[in-house]
Amino acid sequence: MIKTTRNKIIVLAAMAAALCLAFHNVVFAEGRAVLTVNSSGENRYKSVRLTPKIYNNSHISLYDILITDENGENRPYFIHSSFQTVNDATSEYPLELVNAYVKDNASYFDYKAEMRENEDIAATSVEFTSPDSNFAKNVEALGGYDGVHWEYIQNDQLYKVNSSEKMSITFDDVQRYVYYRFKLLYNAENISFSEASLLYREKNVENIFFVESFDPAFKVRQGDGRTYIDIYGLKNLRLADVNILTENMFKRDVESSLGTVKTLYNLSLNGESYSDATLTFDHDLSTDDVFTLTIYDGDDSPIDINGVTVRYYADEIIFDGSESARYMISFGDPDASEPPEYDIKSYKDEILKGGVDALVMDERAVDAAIERMADVTEEKKRDYTIVFNIVILAAAASLGAVIVSKLRKKNV
């Protein structure tokens, strides 16, 4: 009899726990912010740049962002964070012929590079001009710094045959010699050069990141010889720098909650002004709701903080926006654990080569979406609390009824 009662109690408790868990999942699964963006422009693909408040209320890896059209269909997208620029750097150093002679069936051409003031020679290739044609010659290249001692560089071939021509040598490594010797083997035709030049060519590929700035809310605290600046709205942002605005003169160490330490200053001495009040970061991720700067004042009076400016690295979401007049962007699902898999990212380079229309996101719409998400979440929490209390009361009443029933039977 006692065993049966215990079993009933366990079953009822399990049912109550299951109901509570189910209601908990319902609350947070519906806690998403949704905002509408109007489509515009002539291009098929559209971009929307994410704002700080979207980062603050999204998954740290942006897994929870979804784009849907007017029919409620998900639209594939990819995240775009930077673009590349390619710059060709070219320098030319004319070569002056200082000696030419023939020895052992080979022709020797010794050159001196034209030096520039305050610049060292750096060459990736050498180019020749020849009045001759219909030849193919093996060439040995040597280099030196005094025109007397030579070091081997490499072998190559020069030729001008019919419509084919190769009158340059690309060095395996960057060469920095002042003197160059070129040895043409078996030059019975007396092939010569009218001009020669060293060239330096380099492709510089640079990633240009999207950087945005804003003036966040902050609060200043003082104590223990320190000033604390609590900055709000930096959660999930990849930081570029944080600038302190003040008119006071100071020179003090400043530390961020990410561990970055730097001596900042704002000085005006002898008619000259010197200022560096910016703490720099290298894409460092801020993960807390409050980001704090600590100014070590020591025995000096605290400085007056007039404002704070933050620059951060932003992302764009790019999607096919040709099939609807408006799109819904949702975010803020804490249960998102994996990024969506769309094949659009496999051909994003081709998309970026064409035009992409930048859509405008109204910050007021972002605020309204976040407020609605907070209201829905709070309402669901209240509903959950009521249901939870009802379940507990029902379970307690059932258990009480079982116990009373057993006692009555025992007394009878």
pLDDT per position as a tens digit, 396-405: 566 556 565 6
How far are the Cα atoms of 29, 315, 323, 332, 352 from residue 69, in angstroms, in the given order? Answer: 20, 21, 8, 18, 22
Helix (H, G, I), strand (E, B) or coil at 359: coil
The whole-number pLDDT of residue 207 equals 86
386 has a pLDDT exceeding 60? no
Instruction: Report the pLDDT value the prediction gives residue 389, as an integer from 0 to 100.
Output: 58
- Of 284, 313, 342, the residue that ends a domain is 313
Whether residue 273 sits in one domain with residue 201: no
Please compute the mean of the pLDDT values over residues 101-111 and round it to a whole number.
94
Is 60 exceeded by the pLDDT of residue 313? yes
Q: Which residues of 99-137 are buried (b: 16+ CB within 10 A; e: fewer)?
A: eeeeeeeebbbbbbbeeeeeeebebbebbbebeeeeeeb
Share of the chain above pLDDT 90, in %: 66
Range of 279's domain?
211-313
User: Is residue 66 in a domain?
Assistant: no
E strand or H helix at 164: strand 164-166
Within-domain flag for 16: yes
Please check whether residue 71 is in contact with residue 315, taking contact to mean a CB–CB distance below 8 angstroms. Answer: no
- The last residue of a domain, from among 313, 329, 353: 313
- Which of 29-33, 147-151, 227-231, 371-375 bottoms out in mean pLDDT, i.e. has the lowest? 29-33
pLDDT of residue 118: 81
pLDDT score of 43 more than 80: yes
Q: Is the pLDDT of residue 11 over 60?
A: no
For strands 356-358 and 45-49, give the pairing. parallel
The number of angstroms, rounded, from the C-alpha of 33 to the middle of its chain's C-alpha atoms is 24
Residue 375's pLDDT is 63
Q: Is the dihedral of CA 223, 228, 233, 237 positive or negative?
A: negative
Confidence of residue 21 (pLDDT cuts 50, 70, 90): very low
Provide mean pLDDT across the span 347-369: 88
Q: 182, 207, 232 — which closes off a domain?
A: 207
Amino acid 117: pLDDT = 82
193, 92: one domain: yes
Query: What is the average pLDDT score of the chain?
Result: 86
Residue 210 phi, psi (nearest 5): -80, 120
Helix intervals (H) in 30-65: 52-56
pLDDT at 172: 96
One domain for residues 91 and 195: yes
Confidence check: pLDDT of 36 > 80: yes
**Model confidence pLDDT, tens digit, residues 192-243:** 999 999 999 988 888 899 999 999 999 999 999 999 999 999 999 999 999 9
Instruction: Read off the pLDDT band of 370 (50, 70, 90).
Output: confident
| Whole-number pLDDT of residue 65 | 94
Q: Please tell me whether residues 281 and 195 are part of one structural domain.
A: no
Q: Taking residues 364-374, what's their average pLDDT? A: 78
| Euclidean distance between CA atoms 328 and 318, whole angstroms | 13
Please report which helix (H) or strand (E) contains residue 13, including its range: helix 2-29
**Is the residue at 46 inside a domain?**
no
- Are residues 307 and 402 located together in one domain of the fold? no
- Report the percent of the chain where pLDDT is more than 70: 83
Q: What is the CATH number of the domain that holds 144?
A: 2.60.120.260
359: pLDDT strictly greater than 50: yes
* 126 is a domain residue: yes
Residue 393 has pLDDT above 80, yes or no: no
Q: Which residue has the tokens 């600590």?
A: 294
Please tell me the total count of domains within the chain: 3
Check which CATH number belongs to the domain holding 242 and give it. 2.60.120
**DSSP 8-state symbol, 154:** E
Higher pLDDT, 21 or 214: 214
What is the Rg, in whole angstroms, of the alpha carbon atoms belonging to the chain? 37
Would you state the pLDDT for residue 276?
96
* Neighbouring C-alpha atoms within 13 Å toward the C-beta of 81: 8
